[in-house]
Structure 1
Amino acid sequence: MGGSVRNVKSKGEIDEVVGSGFPVILHFWASWCEASNHMDQLFSHLSIDFPNAHFLRVEAEEQPVISEAYSVSAVPFFAFCKDGKTVDTLEGADPSSLANKVAKVAGSINTGESASPASLGMAAGPTVLETVQELAKDNDSSKEKIHVQPGLSAPVRKRLQQLVEAHPVMLFMKGTPEEPKCGFSRKVVDVLKLEKVEFGSFNVLSDLEMREALKKFSNWPTFPQLFCKGELLGGCDITLAMHESGELKEVFKDHGIDTVDESKEKELGEAKGGITKSTDLSTTLTSRLESLINSSAVMLFMKGKPDEPNCGFSRKVVDILRQENVHFESFDILSDEEVRQGLKVYSNWSSYPQLYIKGELIGGSDIVLEMQKSGQLENILHEKGILPAETLQDRLKKLIASAPVMLFMKGTPDAPRCGFSSRIVDSLRQEGVSFQSFDILSDEEVRQGLKVYSNWPTYPQLYYKSELIGGHDIVMELRNNGELKSTLSE
């Protein structure tokens, strides 16, 4: 103890410390994960503030036995132990929750109180405290954010404007051009290299505030995002399509973007299909890796087998693929050291698992999980022909079921485009009902299709647990009779 973090490499070490009965906080991390690195700074500060607790750090992917024992499937991950047993866990980058849970285990603050800078002690520097305060604000207002998309502050908007205009061609990506952290970012980097244009980049994983703010600034929910002369061109799919059609070259030409000279082209290196050419691997191994990658439309390189994963990260991807009802093949990289090390070089991706779709690297567990949550994974599986094309009826069912209380309206809750929609929004808010909404003016296919699907010819339409409640008149009648809230919480 004594205010330091100890790196552990065996379950025996941990069992011995946990068995002592003292408070123990475990941080499962990965050096390649920006969120892990940021949270580890706070973890180290907290070890100074709580010298009577043990702070242990575990390299999650390098210690599969320990990760398995604590059910770790994503990083950063924290386990809190006291009196010889695990009493709490925390998954994800949430500084305020980490501070609260550490203090709770160490017995310094009251349960349920939000961590404040004072509760973190003097060791936590101003940068860490600022991060905690900002994320605490985000967490406190998370319910409101379901309905409200607040505007960007003038300083944030100004900074974003400066960033998108920092270079004539500007790419907001996960990772850096030299070390992309997702397959989509890598593909856009490769396209820009093939287009022979100089470009600037910004790693959105390095700045959570800018990452979320840029989504609102550009009205584009995913990354990468490619800008030309301050104007958004689009994400990975659009960039690839523009490149293949020759339109991207024309856009650059129209905006006066010069191509790099041959000497710079050599520095950038040649790339194609998301995998660098200059791998220095033998022809035999390269051929074998390509054969393995393309041996199935969906191919997972993992630790262990689907029914017996040897790490939580691999299990997470297996679970996701099964949830998506995807047929996939796998390769146990623990069974072949040549493939294990060679594929890292071939794909320029340093960890496992690695998921490939139609021979293209998608990414690891964190990327796949994020894509599943955003719906991007399912879209790709449909686009690549892995899953049957989604019908309008399938899409409507998913939209209706996307929230317990779902309102199809004209406009948004903060900017309704008709009085009927506005009154339903006001009624739901006054009753304290959480809901999500869909602007039917933004999608003509949904607007017309939902009328047929629901057999209800007008809007708004309110649904509860996928069942149609009705339109404006019915909702107002329920509200006036005092039955609205009870109807939406049965």
Structure 2
Amino acid sequence: MGGSVKDVKSKGEVDAVVAGGSPVILHFWASWCEASKHMDQLFTHLSTDFPKAHFLRVEAEEQPEISEAYSVSAVPFFVFFKDGKTFDTLEGADPSSLANKVAKIAGSINPGEAASPASLGMAAGSAVLEAVKELAKENDSSKEKNVVQPGLSGPLRKRLQQLVDSHPVFLFMKGTPEEPKCKFSRKVVDVLKEEKVKFGSFDVMSDSELREGLKKFSNWPTFPQLYCKGELLGGCDIAVAMHENGELREVFKDQGIDTTDEAKEKESGDAKGGISKSTNLSSALSSRVESLINSNAVMLFMKGKPDEPKCGFSRKVVEILQQESVPFDSFDILTDEEVRQGLKVYSNWSSYPQLYIKGDLIGGSDIVLEMQKSGELQKTLREKGIIPAETIQDRLKRLIASSPVMLFMKGTPDVPRCGFSSRVVDALRQEGLSFGFFDILSDDDVRQGLKVYSNWPTFPQLYYKSELIGGHDIVMELKNNGELKSTLSE
């Protein structure tokens, strides 16, 4: 410690430092991002001002394991640790917030004073302060441009989709297959060559707009990114692991993608191992497939068994069904090649796993995961009578858990319908806290049910991580005592 910044190269290094219990600040940066460079100067000076804290630095795209562990989707990005646990995060170039958050976990330079752009550190030189002040102005006026924005422009999204769809196998990488510009890209290129599969590629170093847009498009923060038939498989670690356990070859086979050897075999008239191009099934096979699909209300065709999945995608769907407490049956398509190929034709769905509910195809792992996240899966299961209809208690639990800080109020934050709700909203905003809300005047079932559920007869009601904090008086008391923000950030 004592005013130094340490560059870390593995998740294990980070874990070891955090486990010591001292305050730790972890900075994710990128050499191409100007905002990162400015914030890194401030970061270095803050390490001098707060010698009792550990300041760690990670080049986000060069260390995908660490970046993915902390869900980094843009740079600069900071993670704050206290007492061995994640305490807070900060995304974007916000000098004042960085200094204040560091001071909060490591102790202010001048007790009782907030760290601000005008007093960011005793060691910070005038040039650094000027750069930081300018950055703060830009950030206030138009939010940092290097942070990935909530949406993508139509033309950029269309361009990305066209690239992804341009080849059955497509790789976004640094450099070209002939001249990779990073070891991770080189590893994936080597994997694809060993798999003897043809692929298209794009050098993300050649277009910064596309590079940043792709992170949002794919919801994947690092490069390379490997796609198969328009679906993201993952980055370097996933591609290498799938290659080593044979799963990548299975995916290519299931998607009807020829390897160089398979293509030669077909050209010579020997189609061993090739995927059937037939558009019709024998009546016997069609009947058998249909019987399997309808053998259980929820039927999963997967690789392996639920207790021993043979691929990550099958494992993902099994976990989702278990999380939703859904009874289901399964069929291991690796044990029966006839069913494996026949079901693709029957369902017009070329990959596995395949999930069916009451005989209707729901889709593969990506669709099932998306349906779970949106609540559509639970809704479908209820509509088809697989799980019981939602009770008011279930609904209240879901609403309360929909945001870490959740406020049940009269009206909305912009248009409160009572003075108590208005004051609680103001208190939360003054503390800089983000929160979800529900207007209890819009739904009498929720309004009356919540009184019984919480054993609290009045509104507003504030919850943190599904636990009731209290109403107006308790919230205002916490704020006046300076405890509101810490209570809602533990």
Normalising to structure 2: TM-score of the pair?
Answer: 0.48
Normalising to structure 1: TM-score of the pair?
Answer: 0.48
